[in-house]
Amino acid sequence: MIVVTGAAGFIGSVLAVRLLEADYRQVVLVDDFSVEPKRPNHERLPVTARVDRADFPSWLRENEGQVQFIFHLGARTDTTERNQDLLNELNLEYSKEVWNLCVEFGLPLVYASSAATYGDGSLGYLDSHEVVTQLQPLNPYGRSKNDFDAWALAQERKPYFWAGFKFFNVYGPNEFHKGRMASVVLHTFRQVQATGAMKLFRSHRPDYADGHQTRDFVHVEDLCSVLLHFMHHRIPANSGLYNLGSGKGRTFLDLAKATFHAMGKEPNISFIDTPEDIRDTYQYFTEADLTKLRASGYTAPFRSLEDGIDDYVKNHLVTGETRAPREASAESA
């Protein structure tokens, strides 16, 4: 069995679909399945079991002999969350429990870290283990992710294969439920549909023009391809932390224009002040250094921002469709 935690959410549900498409016949989803807006992401998936996240540790103890691999993607992902106790519970202590169970039962583990660990980028965006304890994330969410990375690296006992991926700005299908935390692609699409225009955040730094704040945007399908590659190539020597972005920073202006074009409309873009509750912790530039990922043996290209947005808009946002399994391939487990 392949386990995916956070499976009712954005990335976890798409990864579950990809596993089903590859004809993995025993997929177990772990999450809080009571969240109604997430239901379309998972309710029709033909999986082996759905396990409540609170019950997962005991379930794993009972079923560890049948489990082949664990993708731990479940977390509190709201970057504006200020409840440190909640972040510690879900992003740190729960992840420690999953890690320790993987050590105990000899299970390989891939987990989700975040580019938010890099803070303002003053130490760069190199996924070196040596800099982890020096990083200064800008918000409690980023700190919770970095705290777990640092804890994992400090452990004497580790899963025989493990990888923590620092996700950059992910976009694509199955993020309909994310509200304020949804990608700017989805926000742009909805604003253009409602008003014919898009309002981006104004720059509050003199070294960045309005709309030229830059992020590394990565399509969720490309991200899942990397995760699946590491499941297939679980080489102990390749264990560690990795950046997972496209490797190319693009501006929010580029993103908005690409969304307008995918919708068949001329860009109509203006600027508003960045909300005060995130202004002081706002990242103005991120770009994944993929040297380590490429050296591990992952060679597939990442789609361009324009191609990714065109697919997302035309095949999901216009139709309102979640990512459902396509015809399965011959690959199986």
Q: What is the count of structural domains for the chain?
A: 1
pLDDT class of 290 with cuts at 50, 70, 90: very high
- Residue 264 in any domain: the answer is no
- Residue 83 in any domain: the answer is yes
pLDDT class of 332 with cuts at 50, 70, 90: very low
Average pLDDT over residues 198-217: 97
- The CATH number of whichever domain residue 168 belongs to comes to 3.40.50.720
Could you say which DSSP state residue 177 is in? G
Query: Phi/psi zone of residue 233: left (φ > 0), alpha (ψ -120 to 50 degrees), beta?
Result: beta
Task: For the chain, give the mean pLDDT.
Answer: 95
Distance, in Å, from the CA atom of 303 to the CA atom of 309, rounded to the nearest integer, reads 10
In the predicted structure, residue 254 carries a pLDDT above the cut 70: yes
Q: Which residues pair with 31 in a beta bridge?
A: 52
Which pLDDT belongs to residue 326?
A: 86
- Residue 40 in any domain: the answer is yes
Distance, in Å, from the CA atom of 105 to the CA atom of 68, rounded to the nearest integer, reads 10
pLDDT class of 281 with cuts at 50, 70, 90: confident
Which pLDDT belongs to residue 137?
A: 94
Percent pLDDT > 90 in the chain is 89
- Residue 15 in any domain: the answer is yes
Q: Residues with catalytic annotation?
A: 141, 178
- Residue 319 in any domain: the answer is no
pLDDT class of 313 with cuts at 50, 70, 90: very high
Which residue range is the domain that position 130 belongs to?
A: 2-175+217-247+289-303
3-state SS, 258-314, equals HHHHHCCCCCCEEEECCCHHHHCCCCCECCCCCHHHHHCCCCCCCCCHHHHHHHHHH
- Residue 315 in any domain: the answer is no
Which pLDDT belongs to residue 83?
A: 83
- Residue 280 in any domain: the answer is no
Distance, in Å, from the CA atom of 171 to the CA atom of 258, rounded to the nearest integer, reads 13
Query: Phi/psi zone of residue 247: left (φ > 0), alpha (ψ -120 to 50 degrees), beta?
Result: left
- Residue 211 in any domain: the answer is no
> What are the DSSP calls for 94-155, one per residue?
HHHHHHHHHHHHT--EEEEEEGGGGTTSTT-S---GGGGGG---SSHHHHHHHHHHHHHHH-
> For the ranges 88-92, 105-109, 210-214, which has the lowest average pLDDT?
88-92
The answer to whether 112 touches 11, Cβ cutoff 8 Å, is yes
The answer to whether 79 touches 141, Cβ cutoff 8 Å, is yes
